[in-house]
Amino acid sequence: MAEKLAPEKRHVFVHNDQKVFEWDQTLEEVNIYISLPPNVHPKQFYCKIQSKHIEVGIKGNPPYLNHDLTSPVKTDSSFWTLEDDTMHVFLQKRDKGQTWSSPVVGQGQLDPYTSDLEQKRLMLQRFQEENPGFDFSQAQFSGNCPDPRTFMGGIRSGQ
């Protein structure tokens, strides 16, 4: 049932008519997907993940991404991989349940409507996680959705 509340599609950040990256999020993580240029050896790519900053590029060239993150991440459980022609950056949120409007500060912010939909989806993911066996995939909120990180005393520890 939890898979019904997974991100339906990735958000796309476009700059100057070029796709810079795609991304999605869950209660615990933010995933960034970057299409890799052809004819570059995989060992030439790099990604540096810091608590509040990310840098991605090709060794010996200016960074492709060099930005502060929207919120802090756990560096010891964040990592990156190369999958076919895509770099997948897995960022473990420091504050589980926090809704990110973009992975990086000032770039590709979600519009208010889409941000609200993300917050609702994460809130339903939290309900699903805390109440296994119940199906919240069709649940709806009337009015404003509460913050999934702080609602009813916050996310239960040990989860």
Q: How many CA atoms lie within 13 A of 96 on its CB side?
A: 10
* 129: Cβ contacts below 8 Å, ≥ 6 apart: 2, 27, 159
Whether residue 44 has pLDDT greater than 90: yes
Domain ranges of the chain: 10-107
> At 107, is the pLDDT very low, low, confident or very high (cuts 50, 70, 90)?
confident
User: pLDDT above 90 covers what percent of the chain?
Assistant: 50
Could you name the CATH architecture of 10-107?
Answer: Sandwich (2.60)
Element (H, E) at 98: none
Map residue 133 onto helix, strand or coil.
coil
Residue range 61-103, pLDDT digits in tens: 999 999 999 999 999 999 999 998 999 999 999 999 889 999 9
Number of H-type helices and E-type strands within the chain? 1, 8
- The confidence score (pLDDT) of residue 1 equals 42
